[in-house]
Amino acid sequence: MKTILDEIVSQKRIEILEKQKTQSIESFRNSENFLLPVKSAKASILDKSKSGIIAEFKRKSPSKGFINKDENVKEVVSGYEKYGASLVSVLTDEQFFGGSFDDLQQAKEILNIPVLRKDFIVDEFQVYETKAIGADLILLIAECLTKDEVYHLAKTAKEIGLEVLLELHSEDQLEKVNEFIDLIGINNRNLKNFEVDIEKSKQILKQLPTDLIKVAESGISDPKTVKELRQAGFQGFLIGENFMKAENPSQAFEQFVKESK
């Protein structure tokens, strides 16, 4: 049975073919952002003056529809940084998540912390594109890539200066971790039944290389959960909908950070 992830990846491949008619890796290499140094996500998460939270700007999800369609990206992300976010994650998928390159670039214009491009990367074309639009960090989702694809895409990202966050969902994806990965994200949500299982994440955590930054992802809505995950050994926490569904995402983030210390 075709999953939503399969559907998204199929759409990505169609979008890439369409973009390749007017853009090329060479055009990305010649773009203004390509030569700019990236800000280190690893350093920012390890900075004790920050919260360790990767706060997300997300307008929509495939399962829930629009969460916060018209929020001003600069207002939201400046609040995230002000109240201690280590990174900001910006959705750039348009069809399923209502995101855009414009959202990411607006965020990048005003932030002093790293920006993660949150999307579904399946081709090296997108890796170069990620650098060209100004992101500091790229997300690779193990669930939709083979071991060889993860290796190639991560190696390409590192060669052009991007840091790499690899997202795992299960123990059988541990073999996809390689020397080009900077951060490992463990998604607490089971993609088959969408249940959140923090205990499962803790088990996977114990099997990860000690030198990698560990990030807990998805289903985090209670500051107590951050405390529990931090105690287990996670250093970063990617949180999206919890803030974006609030009337004022920045205020919601500020309160959450206070309660998670």
Sign of the torsion angle spanned by Cα atoms 248, 249, 251, 252:
positive
Q: Is 72 a catalytic residue?
A: no
Q: Which of 71, 81, 129, 167 is catalytic?
A: 167
Q: Is 75 a catalytic residue?
A: no
Q: Is 187 a catalytic residue?
A: yes
Q: Is 147 a catalytic residue?
A: no
Q: Is 32 a catalytic residue?
A: no
Q: Which of 118, 176, 202, 214 is catalytic?
A: 118
Q: Which of 217, 242, 250, 260 is catalytic?
A: 217
Q: Is 109 a catalytic residue?
A: no
Q: Is 217 a catalytic residue?
A: yes
Q: Which of 42, 51, 56, 108 is catalytic?
A: 56
Q: Which of 44, 51, 187, 250 is catalytic?
A: 187
Question: CB count, 10 Å around CB of 192?
Answer: 9
Q: Which of 188, 218, 250, 260 is catalytic?
A: 218
Q: Which of 12, 39, 58, 202 is catalytic?
A: 58
Q: Which residues are catalytic?
A: 56, 58, 118, 167, 187, 217-218
